[in-house]
Amino acid sequence: MSKRNIVITGGAGFIGSHVVRLLVNKYPEYNIFNLDKLTYAGNLANLKDVEDKPNYRFIRMDICDFKAYYQLMQDKQIDGIIHLAAESHVDRSIKDPFTFARTNVMGTLALLQAAREYWESLPERYEGKLFYHISTDEVYGALELTHPEGVEPPFTTLASSRDDKAYGTEFFTEETKYNPHSPYSASKASSDHFVRSYHDTYGMPTIITNCSNNYGPYQFPEKLIPLFINNIRHRRPLPVYGRGENVRDWLFVEDHARAIDLIFHKGRAAETYNIGGFNEWKNIDLIKVIIKTVDRLLGNPEGQSLDLITYVTDRPGHDMRYAIDSRKLQSELGWEPSLQFEEGIEKTVRWYLDNQAWMDNITSGEYERYYDDMYSGR
Protein backbone atom coordinates (compact mmCIF):
# COMPACT_ATOMS: atom_id res chain seq x y z
CA MET A 1 0.00 0.00 0.00
CA SER A 2 1.35 3.42 -0.93
CA LYS A 3 2.49 5.97 1.61
CA ARG A 4 -0.07 8.64 2.44
CA ASN A 5 -0.11 11.85 4.46
CA ILE A 6 -3.50 12.20 6.13
CA VAL A 7 -4.89 14.92 8.38
CA ILE A 8 -7.60 13.96 10.86
CA THR A 9 -9.24 17.07 12.31
CA GLY A 10 -10.74 16.75 15.77
CA GLY A 11 -8.59 13.70 16.38
CA ALA A 12 -8.39 14.27 20.14
CA GLY A 13 -12.16 14.17 20.46
CA PHE A 14 -14.48 11.24 20.99
CA ILE A 15 -15.02 9.82 17.49
CA GLY A 16 -11.78 11.33 16.16
CA SER A 17 -9.56 9.56 18.68
CA HIS A 18 -11.02 6.18 17.68
CA VAL A 19 -10.37 6.96 14.00
CA VAL A 20 -6.80 8.10 14.75
CA ARG A 21 -6.08 4.96 16.80
CA LEU A 22 -7.45 2.66 14.09
CA LEU A 23 -5.54 4.26 11.21
CA VAL A 24 -2.25 4.68 13.10
CA ASN A 25 -2.26 1.00 14.07
CA LYS A 26 -3.66 -0.40 10.83
CA TYR A 27 -1.54 1.62 8.37
CA PRO A 28 2.02 2.00 9.70
CA GLU A 29 3.11 3.28 6.26
CA TYR A 30 0.73 6.27 6.53
CA ASN A 31 1.67 9.51 8.27
CA ILE A 32 -1.30 10.48 10.44
CA PHE A 33 -1.50 14.13 11.56
CA ASN A 34 -3.98 14.70 14.37
CA LEU A 35 -5.16 18.32 14.18
CA ASP A 36 -7.09 19.53 17.21
CA LYS A 37 -7.66 22.85 18.96
CA LEU A 38 -8.09 21.04 22.30
CA THR A 39 -11.29 22.73 23.35
CA TYR A 40 -13.18 21.28 26.32
CA ALA A 41 -14.03 17.98 24.54
CA GLY A 42 -10.56 17.36 23.07
CA ASN A 43 -8.34 15.28 25.30
CA LEU A 44 -4.92 13.86 24.43
CA ALA A 45 -5.32 11.30 27.20
CA ASN A 46 -7.66 9.57 24.72
CA LEU A 47 -4.59 8.69 22.61
CA LYS A 48 -1.90 7.82 25.14
CA ASP A 49 -1.56 4.36 23.60
CA VAL A 50 -0.48 5.74 20.19
CA GLU A 51 1.26 9.02 21.07
CA ASP A 52 4.74 7.47 20.68
CA LYS A 53 4.06 5.70 17.36
CA PRO A 54 6.47 6.86 14.61
CA ASN A 55 3.65 7.48 12.09
CA TYR A 56 1.61 9.70 14.44
CA ARG A 57 1.94 13.41 15.14
CA PHE A 58 -0.29 15.78 17.09
CA ILE A 59 -0.58 19.41 15.95
CA ARG A 60 -2.53 21.93 17.99
CA MET A 61 -4.41 24.17 15.57
CA ASP A 62 -7.71 25.96 15.09
CA ILE A 63 -9.34 24.82 11.82
CA CYS A 64 -10.46 28.43 11.26
CA ASP A 65 -6.79 29.48 10.89
CA PHE A 66 -6.59 29.31 7.11
CA LYS A 67 -2.95 30.45 6.81
CA ALA A 68 -1.62 27.98 9.37
CA TYR A 69 -3.55 25.11 7.82
CA TYR A 70 -2.52 26.00 4.26
CA GLN A 71 1.12 26.02 5.41
CA LEU A 72 0.62 22.58 6.99
CA MET A 73 -0.85 21.22 3.74
CA GLN A 74 2.27 22.38 1.89
CA ASP A 75 4.82 21.36 4.52
CA LYS A 76 3.42 17.85 5.02
CA GLN A 77 2.17 17.29 1.45
CA ILE A 78 -1.28 16.31 2.69
CA ASP A 79 -3.25 14.15 0.25
CA GLY A 80 -6.20 13.11 2.43
CA ILE A 81 -8.39 14.92 4.96
CA ILE A 82 -10.81 13.25 7.36
CA HIS A 83 -12.72 16.14 8.89
CA LEU A 84 -14.32 15.47 12.27
CA ALA A 85 -13.60 18.70 14.16
CA ALA A 86 -16.89 20.29 15.17
CA GLU A 87 -18.90 21.75 17.99
CA SER A 88 -21.44 18.99 18.50
CA HIS A 89 -23.70 19.47 21.51
CA VAL A 90 -27.23 20.66 20.74
CA ASP A 91 -27.78 22.26 24.16
CA ARG A 92 -24.60 24.31 23.80
CA SER A 93 -25.67 25.42 20.31
CA ILE A 94 -28.95 26.76 21.70
CA LYS A 95 -27.02 28.93 24.16
CA ASP A 96 -24.17 29.96 21.82
CA PRO A 97 -25.01 29.56 18.11
CA PHE A 98 -22.19 31.89 16.97
CA THR A 99 -19.48 29.46 18.10
CA PHE A 100 -21.15 26.67 16.13
CA ALA A 101 -21.34 28.80 12.97
CA ARG A 102 -17.69 29.81 13.33
CA THR A 103 -16.26 26.33 13.86
CA ASN A 104 -18.63 24.15 11.87
CA VAL A 105 -19.21 26.43 8.88
CA MET A 106 -16.24 28.81 8.60
CA GLY A 107 -13.80 26.18 9.86
CA THR A 108 -14.93 23.68 7.24
CA LEU A 109 -14.74 26.38 4.56
CA ALA A 110 -11.17 27.26 5.60
CA LEU A 111 -10.13 23.60 5.28
CA LEU A 112 -11.79 23.27 1.87
CA GLN A 113 -10.21 26.40 0.48
CA ALA A 114 -6.73 25.51 1.78
CA ALA A 115 -7.06 22.02 0.27
CA ARG A 116 -8.26 23.46 -3.03
CA GLU A 117 -5.42 26.00 -3.32
CA TYR A 118 -2.74 23.44 -2.41
CA TRP A 119 -4.05 20.54 -4.51
CA GLU A 120 -4.68 22.73 -7.56
CA SER A 121 -1.06 23.93 -7.36
CA LEU A 122 0.24 20.38 -7.90
CA PRO A 123 0.94 18.84 -11.32
CA GLU A 124 -1.48 15.98 -10.61
CA ARG A 125 -4.05 18.36 -9.05
CA TYR A 126 -6.83 16.29 -7.45
CA GLU A 127 -5.63 12.84 -8.50
CA GLY A 128 -5.32 10.60 -5.43
CA LYS A 129 -6.78 13.27 -3.12
CA LEU A 130 -9.87 13.12 -0.90
CA PHE A 131 -11.73 15.46 1.45
CA TYR A 132 -13.93 13.27 3.67
CA HIS A 133 -16.42 15.19 5.80
CA ILE A 134 -18.14 13.51 8.77
CA SER A 135 -21.60 14.87 9.50
CA THR A 136 -24.77 13.99 11.40
CA ASP A 137 -28.22 12.57 10.76
CA GLU A 138 -29.63 15.65 12.54
CA VAL A 139 -29.36 17.63 9.28
CA TYR A 140 -32.38 15.66 8.02
CA GLY A 141 -34.70 17.03 10.70
CA ALA A 142 -37.10 14.72 12.49
CA LEU A 143 -39.26 11.72 11.70
CA GLU A 144 -42.72 11.03 13.09
CA LEU A 145 -43.25 8.57 15.91
CA THR A 146 -46.03 6.75 14.07
CA HIS A 147 -45.67 3.43 15.94
CA PRO A 148 -44.95 4.23 19.61
CA GLU A 149 -45.49 0.56 20.50
CA GLY A 150 -42.70 -0.47 18.09
CA VAL A 151 -42.87 -2.63 14.97
CA GLU A 152 -40.47 -5.02 13.24
CA PRO A 153 -37.74 -3.02 11.43
CA PRO A 154 -37.42 -3.43 7.64
CA PHE A 155 -33.72 -4.34 7.77
CA THR A 156 -31.47 -6.72 9.65
CA THR A 157 -27.75 -7.26 10.21
CA LEU A 158 -25.65 -10.02 11.74
CA ALA A 159 -25.84 -8.00 14.98
CA SER A 160 -29.63 -7.71 14.93
CA SER A 161 -31.70 -9.00 17.81
CA ARG A 162 -35.26 -10.34 17.76
CA ASP A 163 -36.14 -7.56 20.20
CA ASP A 164 -35.16 -4.77 17.76
CA LYS A 165 -38.00 -2.36 17.04
CA ALA A 166 -38.74 0.53 14.72
CA TYR A 167 -41.00 3.34 15.93
CA GLY A 168 -42.13 4.49 12.50
CA THR A 169 -42.13 3.48 8.86
CA GLU A 170 -39.93 6.30 7.53
CA PHE A 171 -36.13 6.39 7.75
CA PHE A 172 -33.43 8.85 6.81
CA THR A 173 -31.82 7.86 3.52
CA GLU A 174 -29.09 9.56 1.51
CA GLU A 175 -31.85 11.21 -0.56
CA THR A 176 -33.75 12.69 2.40
CA LYS A 177 -34.08 16.47 2.07
CA TYR A 178 -32.31 18.59 4.66
CA ASN A 179 -34.55 20.13 7.33
CA PRO A 180 -32.35 21.06 10.34
CA HIS A 181 -34.07 22.37 13.48
CA SER A 182 -31.31 23.32 15.96
CA PRO A 183 -28.41 25.75 15.54
CA TYR A 184 -26.11 22.72 15.72
CA SER A 185 -27.81 20.82 12.90
CA ALA A 186 -28.15 24.03 10.85
CA SER A 187 -24.39 24.59 11.11
CA LYS A 188 -23.64 21.01 10.06
CA ALA A 189 -26.10 21.23 7.15
CA SER A 190 -24.35 24.38 5.97
CA SER A 191 -20.95 22.71 6.14
CA ASP A 192 -22.29 19.72 4.16
CA HIS A 193 -23.48 22.10 1.43
CA PHE A 194 -20.06 23.76 1.24
CA VAL A 195 -18.33 20.39 0.89
CA ARG A 196 -20.64 19.37 -1.97
CA SER A 197 -20.15 22.77 -3.61
CA TYR A 198 -16.37 22.26 -3.74
CA HIS A 199 -16.90 19.04 -5.65
CA ASP A 200 -19.49 20.52 -8.00
CA THR A 201 -17.63 23.80 -8.60
CA TYR A 202 -13.94 22.84 -8.49
CA GLY A 203 -13.97 19.07 -9.03
CA MET A 204 -12.52 18.30 -5.58
CA PRO A 205 -13.03 14.62 -4.65
CA THR A 206 -15.28 14.72 -1.58
CA ILE A 207 -17.31 12.25 0.45
CA ILE A 208 -19.87 13.01 3.17
CA THR A 209 -21.19 10.60 5.77
CA ASN A 210 -24.10 11.28 8.08
CA CYS A 211 -24.08 9.22 11.25
CA SER A 212 -26.47 8.53 14.10
CA ASN A 213 -25.79 8.95 17.84
CA ASN A 214 -22.41 7.48 18.77
CA TYR A 215 -21.56 5.87 22.11
CA GLY A 216 -18.56 4.11 23.61
CA PRO A 217 -15.26 4.79 25.43
CA TYR A 218 -13.71 8.28 25.67
CA GLN A 219 -16.95 10.24 25.18
CA PHE A 220 -17.08 13.61 26.95
CA PRO A 221 -19.57 13.36 29.83
CA GLU A 222 -22.02 15.98 28.60
CA LYS A 223 -23.60 13.34 26.36
CA LEU A 224 -26.32 11.07 27.70
CA ILE A 225 -24.62 7.71 28.14
CA PRO A 226 -21.35 8.70 29.90
CA LEU A 227 -23.20 11.39 31.90
CA PHE A 228 -25.70 8.86 33.21
CA ILE A 229 -23.06 6.23 33.98
CA ASN A 230 -21.16 8.83 36.01
CA ASN A 231 -24.29 10.13 37.73
CA ILE A 232 -25.38 6.64 38.75
CA ARG A 233 -21.92 6.03 40.20
CA HIS A 234 -22.26 9.20 42.31
CA ARG A 235 -26.01 8.80 43.07
CA ARG A 236 -26.87 12.02 41.23
CA PRO A 237 -30.17 12.72 39.40
CA LEU A 238 -30.60 11.42 35.83
CA PRO A 239 -32.26 14.30 33.93
CA VAL A 240 -34.71 13.01 31.29
CA TYR A 241 -36.23 15.46 28.80
CA GLY A 242 -40.03 15.46 28.63
CA ARG A 243 -41.37 11.94 29.10
CA GLY A 244 -38.31 10.21 27.65
CA GLU A 245 -40.23 9.19 24.52
CA ASN A 246 -37.74 10.62 21.99
CA VAL A 247 -36.21 7.94 19.75
CA ARG A 248 -32.61 7.75 18.55
CA ASP A 249 -30.52 5.28 16.54
CA TRP A 250 -27.33 4.30 18.38
CA LEU A 251 -23.95 3.46 16.81
CA PHE A 252 -20.99 1.96 18.69
CA VAL A 253 -18.07 4.30 18.07
CA GLU A 254 -15.61 1.55 17.09
CA ASP A 255 -18.06 0.41 14.41
CA HIS A 256 -18.23 4.02 13.19
CA ALA A 257 -14.41 4.20 13.00
CA ARG A 258 -14.40 0.99 10.93
CA ALA A 259 -16.95 2.50 8.58
CA ILE A 260 -14.90 5.70 8.18
CA ASP A 261 -11.78 3.66 7.35
CA LEU A 262 -13.72 1.60 4.79
CA ILE A 263 -15.38 4.62 3.15
CA PHE A 264 -12.14 6.62 3.02
CA HIS A 265 -10.47 3.81 1.10
CA LYS A 266 -13.35 2.28 -0.89
CA GLY A 267 -16.11 4.90 -1.05
CA ARG A 268 -16.97 6.67 -4.29
CA ALA A 269 -16.15 10.37 -4.65
CA ALA A 270 -19.12 12.77 -4.55
CA GLU A 271 -21.23 10.18 -2.72
CA THR A 272 -23.04 10.39 0.59
CA TYR A 273 -23.27 7.40 2.94
CA ASN A 274 -25.48 7.10 6.01
CA ILE A 275 -23.90 5.28 8.96
CA GLY A 276 -26.27 3.98 11.63
CA GLY A 277 -26.52 1.20 14.15
CA PHE A 278 -29.64 -0.38 12.61
CA ASN A 279 -31.43 0.03 15.94
CA GLU A 280 -33.80 2.51 17.55
CA TRP A 281 -34.30 3.15 21.24
CA LYS A 282 -36.64 5.38 23.19
CA ASN A 283 -34.57 7.45 25.60
CA ILE A 284 -36.36 6.08 28.66
CA ASP A 285 -35.80 2.46 27.57
CA LEU A 286 -32.13 3.17 26.89
CA ILE A 287 -31.78 4.77 30.32
CA LYS A 288 -33.28 1.72 32.00
CA VAL A 289 -30.76 -0.53 30.21
CA ILE A 290 -27.92 1.73 31.42
CA ILE A 291 -29.27 1.67 35.00
CA LYS A 292 -29.64 -2.12 34.98
CA THR A 293 -26.11 -2.60 33.61
CA VAL A 294 -24.38 -0.09 35.92
CA ASP A 295 -26.20 -1.36 39.03
CA ARG A 296 -25.23 -4.96 38.19
CA LEU A 297 -21.58 -4.12 37.57
CA LEU A 298 -21.38 -1.99 40.74
CA GLY A 299 -22.95 -4.79 42.77
CA ASN A 300 -26.07 -2.76 43.57
CA PRO A 301 -29.47 -4.42 43.99
CA GLU A 302 -31.31 -4.57 40.65
CA GLY A 303 -33.25 -1.38 40.01
CA GLN A 304 -31.67 0.54 42.89
CA SER A 305 -30.88 3.56 40.71
CA LEU A 306 -34.30 3.82 39.03
CA ASP A 307 -35.23 6.41 41.66
CA LEU A 308 -32.57 8.75 40.17
CA ILE A 309 -34.67 9.30 37.02
CA THR A 310 -35.76 12.95 37.08
CA TYR A 311 -38.05 14.29 34.36
CA VAL A 312 -37.14 17.82 33.28
CA THR A 313 -38.67 20.39 30.89
CA ASP A 314 -38.14 19.33 27.31
CA ARG A 315 -35.41 20.90 25.17
CA PRO A 316 -36.68 23.65 22.78
CA GLY A 317 -37.35 22.17 19.33
CA HIS A 318 -36.50 18.64 20.52
CA ASP A 319 -36.77 16.33 17.49
CA MET A 320 -38.97 13.33 18.29
CA ARG A 321 -37.40 10.55 16.24
CA TYR A 322 -34.20 9.93 14.30
CA ALA A 323 -33.88 6.64 12.42
CA ILE A 324 -31.22 6.01 9.82
CA ASP A 325 -31.20 3.65 6.86
CA SER A 326 -27.64 2.39 6.27
CA ARG A 327 -28.47 -0.17 3.61
CA LYS A 328 -26.48 1.67 0.93
CA LEU A 329 -23.29 1.28 2.98
CA GLN A 330 -24.24 -2.30 3.83
CA SER A 331 -24.88 -3.33 0.22
CA GLU A 332 -22.14 -1.34 -1.56
CA LEU A 333 -19.23 -1.74 0.87
CA GLY A 334 -20.30 -4.63 3.11
CA TRP A 335 -20.26 -2.72 6.41
CA GLU A 336 -22.45 -3.78 9.33
CA PRO A 337 -22.45 -3.11 13.09
CA SER A 338 -20.35 -5.67 14.91
CA LEU A 339 -22.40 -6.08 18.09
CA GLN A 340 -25.91 -5.76 19.50
CA PHE A 341 -26.76 -2.63 21.43
CA GLU A 342 -26.87 -4.38 24.81
CA GLU A 343 -23.39 -5.80 24.12
CA GLY A 344 -22.12 -2.34 23.23
CA ILE A 345 -23.61 -0.84 26.39
CA GLU A 346 -21.99 -3.59 28.47
CA LYS A 347 -18.56 -2.83 26.95
CA THR A 348 -19.11 0.90 27.37
CA VAL A 349 -20.20 0.76 31.01
CA ARG A 350 -17.30 -1.55 31.87
CA TRP A 351 -14.86 0.88 30.23
CA TYR A 352 -16.12 3.89 32.21
CA LEU A 353 -16.13 1.99 35.49
CA ASP A 354 -12.62 0.65 34.80
CA ASN A 355 -11.36 4.12 33.82
CA GLN A 356 -12.83 6.26 36.58
CA ALA A 357 -9.64 8.35 36.82
CA TRP A 358 -10.17 9.46 33.19
CA MET A 359 -13.72 10.54 34.00
CA ASP A 360 -12.77 12.19 37.30
CA ASN A 361 -9.97 14.21 35.67
CA ILE A 362 -12.37 15.57 33.08
CA THR A 363 -15.21 16.35 35.44
CA SER A 364 -12.86 18.00 37.94
CA GLY A 365 -11.36 20.30 35.33
CA GLU A 366 -7.84 18.98 35.96
CA TYR A 367 -7.25 18.16 32.32
CA GLU A 368 -8.15 21.73 31.27
CA ARG A 369 -5.56 23.14 33.67
CA TYR A 370 -3.03 20.61 32.37
CA TYR A 371 -3.50 21.83 28.80
CA ASP A 372 -3.19 25.47 29.85
CA ASP A 373 0.15 24.67 31.51
CA MET A 374 1.30 22.58 28.55
CA TYR A 375 0.38 24.91 25.74
CA SER A 376 0.27 28.46 27.07
CA GLY A 377 2.47 30.70 24.94
CA ARG A 378 2.85 28.15 22.13
Question: Which residues have a catalytic role annotated?
Answer: 137-138, 184
- The dihedral formed by the CA atoms of 279, 153, 138 and 330, expressed in degrees to the nearest 10: 80
Other beta carbons within 10 angstroms of residue 62's beta carbon come to: 18
Q: Residue 347, CB half-sphere, CA atoms under 13 Å: how many? A: 15
DSSP 19-78: HHHHHHHH-TTSEEEEEE---TT--GGGGTTTTT-TTEEEEE--TT-HHHHHHHHHHHT-
Q: Are strands 80-83 and 238-241 parallel, antiparallel or unpaired?
A: unpaired
CA gap 258, 254 in Å, rounded: 6
Phi and psi, residue 310, nearest 5° = -130, 115
Distances (CA, A) of 33 to 18, 69, 218: 14, 12, 20
Vertex 226 angle, CA 222 and 229, to 5°: 125
Q: Report the 10 Å Cβ neighbour count for 232.
A: 23
Residue 282, beta-bridge partner list = 247
